[in-house]
Structures are given as structure tokens and as C-alpha cells.
Chain A
């Protein structure tokens, strides 16, 4: 979805380096998410944010940190990258909407990160 952009799309780095992945959205959504995808494991939630002042840990937050700089921007950082953080990373957004039941998430195109 072009409304959710991720930069960079591909990144190769070395063990121990600090890496930042960025996500921007023009959908005007208040909720933003970072997921990690590994083959055969589906999508696992790293962090999520319901607004600029709200940050929550997901299932696998160890080794990661996030920053919600504005409603439209949500960055994921790897303070000291390690090889098992090699994965496909997705940013997603969602709107609180009028219904509390649905929570459609809109995904960016992904960032492929390789840690050597």
C-alpha cells in the first residue's frame, strides 16, 4: 500500500552496528505497529503505538527500540544488530475507527534486513 512507506527496502549490515528502520504513513491513522517475519513463523509483533505518547512492547521486543516522532512516523532501531535479527520487517497502521471490533491493519512493503 503506497500510503505506508518503509525505508530502506533492503539493508545489509554487520554484527554490532546500530540500525534504524523508518516507517511513514499518509493514512492519518493513529495506531502503528512493527512486525518481524521469519520463514515458517508468520508475523510476530515487536512494538506498537496507539498515539505519539503511547508505546507498548509486543511479543519479541528484546534487542529493539522504537520512537514515535509524530503521528505519521514510527521508527524501529536495533541498537546492536546480531545475525538472528536477519528477517523481513513490516510496519503497519490501523485506525481506531467507529467500531471497536474491527482493527484492519494496513501494511507497508517491508524492509529486508540482513545482519552478517
Chain B
């Protein structure tokens, strides 16, 4: 199966600063890379995704980059706000039909 490594496990930033979360994966057949955000007491929710034929995607303050050669992808959040505080998961869709593989998560805290 797929192996997804995610770093850092915790990240604290000041409001307005940028935050970056990095992930690596092992299965070169992986072709879809979503990011999920989990707020306290809730289930994870998709916030952005990228396909293997695209190197970068941006949606307002969040952006994702993908380097298929190096098998790593990253989430970038600019102008962070306290409501960005949550656990973020990087995810891969591997070669097994319908399966998603989750990283261990990054607890992001944005201090006002």
C-alpha cells in the first residue's frame, strides 16, 4: 500500500504569517492528492486537491504544489487567521481502487 509521511506534526504561527506543511509518498502510481482540514469535534473536510498532471493549484489563501518526480507535495497557507487553526491531513489516492491514504496530520495553531 501507499506510505504517506507528513511534517511537521505541530506548527504554531502568528496571525498573518504563512504556514507550510510538507508530505512525501511512496507509490509512484498515486495520481490524486487532496488535503483535508479537521476542526475540533468535527470530521475531516476537503479543502483543496491537486491531480498528478498539475504542478500547482491555488484557491484564495491556500495553495498546493506537487513534485511527482520527487514524490512530494505541500500545502501553503498565506495570511493565516485564527480560524485556520485545525489539524490538516495530506492524502494520496494510490493504485488501489477507491482507497485514500492519510498522513498523520499537522496540528496548526494560529496565534492572534
Binary contact track A43-55/B, C-beta < 8 Å → 1, others 0: 1110010100000
Interface range on chain A (Cβ under 8 Å from partner): 20 to 34
For B72-112 the 0/1 string (1 means CB < 8 A from A) is 00000000000000000100010000111011110000000
- Interface on chain A toward B: helix, strand, loop, or mixed SS? strand
Inter-chain contact A50/B102, CB cutoff 8 Å = no
Q: A40-B9, A48-B99 are in contact. Are A1 and B43 (CB under 8 A)?
A: yes
The reply to whether A102 and B1 form a contact with Cβ atoms under 8 Å apart is no
**Pair A101/B43 contact, Cβ less than 8 Å:** no
Chain B residues numbered 33-76 whose CB sits less than 8 Å from any CB in chain A = 34, 41-46, 49, 51
Min CB–CB distance A7 → chain B (angstroms): 14
A103 to B100, CA, bound (A): 8
Specify the chain B residue showing the minimal Cβ separation from A6. B43
B31 at the A interface (CB under 8 A): yes
State whether the Cβ of A87 lies closer than 8 Å to any Cβ in chain B.
Answer: no
In this assembly, does A78 line the interface, its C-beta being within 8 Å of a C-beta of chain B? no
Q: Known pairs A42-B103, A42-B104; list 19 more (Cβ under 8 Å).
A: A1-B45, A40-B9, A40-B104, A42-B105, A45-B99, A45-B100, A48-B98, A50-B98, A90-B44, A92-B43, A101-B93, A102-B32, A102-B34, A103-B93, A104-B34, A104-B46, A105-B100, A109-B42, A110-B41
